[in-house]
Amino acid sequence: MGCIFMETEIYGINPTKRLTVETAEAELYKPKTFLNDHFVRLVDYVGGDEAVVRGATAGKGLDLFKEDISAEDLFYYLRMNHITEPFRFPELKMHFKVPIQEALFWVYQRSSRINEWSGRYSEMSDEAREYTEDDFSYLHVLDETRDKIPEILDLFEKTRLQSKDAYKNMLSEGFVRELARIGIGIGNNTEFYLTMNLEDLLIATKTAFYNSINYDIKKTADSVLDLAASVAPLAVKSFLTPQNQGLDWTIDRDVLEEKPSGNRFEISQTKRLVVPEAEKMLFKPIDILDHGWVMPTDYMGTDSSIVQAARVSYSKGTTSVRQDKTLIRYLLRHLHTSPFEQVSVQYEMKTPIFVSPRQAARHRTAVKGYLMDNMPVSKDFYIPEIEQIRGQSKTNMQGRGSELDDETKVRIIKELDSTFSSQAKLRSELSNTNIPDYMVDAQLGVGHYTWTTWKQDLHNVFHFLRLRDDSHAQHEIQVTARAMGEFVESTFPISHEAFLDYTKNAVSFSSQEQELLARMIAENRSAVPNHFYKDMGWWLKKDDKKNLEAIELDNKIETLMKK
């Protein structure tokens, strides 16, 4: 089969504003080989120890603490208190070449995101795990079995060659690849990309070391652990050698309230893919609402990374930009989502609590961080813009209807301002007492702002944007989603364009809707007549009007007519 994408410096060396880790850069694209010619290598990463710190401190870093606290101190404290989410901010993308049997261990890890060489699209590998007498040395086999090891090894080889020859013969007869492959042994080699966050990757290696009886899996886990340590050495150390660490600290609320300004890191060199348009947006807050902002802080991969992941199945590398665009649009159009899970974006944001975490946190695939286990609450609070002071929608119990009259708007704004001002006064009066912040914060409304760190793969970011950057979503989360979408568009322009064409701005029709449309077109009509809806059962007899499905189809047809 041969190895795919084995260049040592695929993309050259480029300047970046992102966090770079010198030890990780040194490991990029270098295969760690073991056993026969099996290997695992780091092909991309995001974050590092500093990303864990930021995830645990609402993005503020160690400057948030008035005491002199090191990252290592913080990590041991997090481990002792079972606070694991910050350790999910670093992420590794690795390229494996291992037997199918071993690949299954990694493929079925719950949070792994995989793109694998496929025997459905390409011929299976000629290579396989070849055992030697040394491979039996660590097994406690019976003496009579040990004497038969050469015979057993010969039997292994004959069986492997027979299944390989049968596979080749079936292909030469024109038999379909996806069925011809089923006799190939699971000791045959495969290759795949795996992307996983640091914490879940460490848990997987621990499972391999302690629960697996497969020696090969343990050898792979050794190499994976080395790569993880190259990306976030202190975080890995805290996992492997946990210590009880009691810390007393004081949060500097002035630091907490500061709006970010300027680059977080010096310009450094990276072997990873770099997107110039994305680099321009890093660490520049995008203002939203009255006191909020969304700030892009990192990304992993580009459109070409998506193509690279998809072509593992076809055993081909990237080709031309035009062909890459065609493939990305094909993948998104046909809901082949896993290649879009191989890349990710990261943000920090300041939003009203009812936006994030209350609504946004429902998107469980995002890694979200607050200040350790507490959600910090800002002194700022949200007062809606005058045009958002509306009545309750008559048709959507979750939505806003028509605008209220000017006098009512003024009264409502005064009520909100009075409520939040009294809460701020309470907080100020108790600021010099020893009452814990969380007790005081519990008295503050969900219109107060808080800070969130957020990381998500592109497939699930698109799902978030489809739901939240939508006219039916609450205005405040629409604004937040649009700001997030600006960075997505800059980082993955081809994929974002396909998302707009095939998902966000697309119109889908159910089988019943298609039946109604076919009847409408056959009769040369421009709208579905009421008796069609009555025939379909989409009519409310009690109220003598269309039901919700009929109204929605009318809206879809109206949208098409406007094109």
How much is the average pLDDT of 258-269? 93
Per-residue model confidence (pLDDT) at position 203: 96
- In-domain check, residue 254: yes
- In-domain check, residue 376: yes
Dump pLDDT digits (tens) for 97-135. Answer: 999 999 999 988 989 999 988 888 788 888 888 888 887
Q: What's the pLDDT band for 9 if we cut at 50, 70, 90?
A: low
Same domain, 551 and 412: no
Same domain, 205 and 257: yes
Prior bond of 90 cis (ω within 30°) = no
> 40-44, 400-404, 449-453, 510-514: lowest mean pLDDT where?
400-404
Domain CATH code at residue 70:
3.30.1360.170
**The tokens of 362 are what?**
């429902």
Same domain, 487 and 516: no
Q: What's the pLDDT band for 471 if we cut at 50, 70, 90?
A: confident
- In-domain check, residue 319: no
Strands 38-46 vs 14-16: parallel, antiparallel or unpaired:
unpaired
Question: Which domain, by its residues, includes 214?
Answer: 14-136+186-270
How much is the average pLDDT of 165-194? 91
- In-domain check, residue 320: no
Per-residue model confidence (pLDDT) at position 361: 78
Per-residue model confidence (pLDDT) at position 399: 62
- In-domain check, residue 546: yes
Strands 448-457 vs 344-352: parallel, antiparallel or unpaired:
antiparallel
How much is the average pLDDT of 433-437? 84
- In-domain check, residue 365: yes
Per-residue model confidence (pLDDT) at position 245: 81
Dump pLDDT digits (tens) for 307-333. Answer: 999 888 665 555 567 788 999 999 999
Same domain, 49 and 146: no
Same domain, 460 and 524: no
Report the candidate in 23, 15, 70 with the shortest Cα–Cα distance to residue 265.
15
Same domain, 291 and 262: no
Decide: pTM greater than 0.85.
Answer: yes
Active-site annotation, residues: 468
- In-domain check, residue 44: yes
Beta bridge partners of 116: 192
Per-residue model confidence (pLDDT) at position 136: 76
- Is residue 5 scored above 80 in pLDDT? no
Per-residue model confidence (pLDDT) at position 149: 85
Same domain, 119 and 141: no
- In-domain check, residue 1: no
DSSP symbols for 260-305: P-S-SS--EEESS---HHHHHHTT--EEETTTEEEEEEEEE--HHH
The amino acid present at 295, given as its one-letter code, is: M
Q: Decide: 194 and 96 in contact? Cβ < 8 Å.
A: yes
Query: Helices 475-491 & 458-468, crossing angle to 10 degrees?
Result: 140
Same domain, 450 and 528: no
- Is residue 504 scored above 50 in pLDDT? yes
Burial per residue of 549-562, b for 16 or more beta-carbon CB atoms within 10 angstroms, e otherwise: bbeebeeebeeeee
**The tokens of 106 are what?**
């990694």
H-run or E-run covering 230: helix 215-231
**Among residues 249, 270, 291, which one ends one of the domains?**
270
What gap in Å lies between CA 283 and CA 272, rounded to an integer? 19
Per-residue model confidence (pLDDT) at position 402: 76
Number of domains in the chain: 4
Same domain, 47 and 130: yes
Report the candidate in 343, 350, 229, 236 with the shortest Cα–Cα distance to residue 295.
350
C-alpha to C-alpha distances, 355 to 238, 301, 397, 401, 519, nearest whole angstrom = 33, 28, 18, 20, 43
Q: Decide: 519 and 532 in contact? Cβ < 8 Å.
A: yes
Same domain, 126 and 250: yes
> 78-82, 370-374, 508-512, 557-561: lowest mean pLDDT where?
370-374
**Among residues 499, 522, 538, which one ends one of the domains?**
499
Same domain, 169 and 60: no
Report the candidate in 528, 526, 550 with the shortest Cα–Cα distance to residue 537.
550
Q: What's the pLDDT band for 1 if we cut at 50, 70, 90?
A: very low
- Is residue 470 scored above 70 in pLDDT? yes
User: What sections of 334-435 are H helices per DSSP?
Assistant: 406-429
- Is residue 212 scored above 80 in pLDDT? no
What gap in Å lies between CA 164 and CA 453, rounded to an integer? 50
Position with higher pLDDT, 532 vs 5: 532
**Among residues 270, 287, 309, which one ends one of the domains?**
270
Same domain, 482 and 372: yes
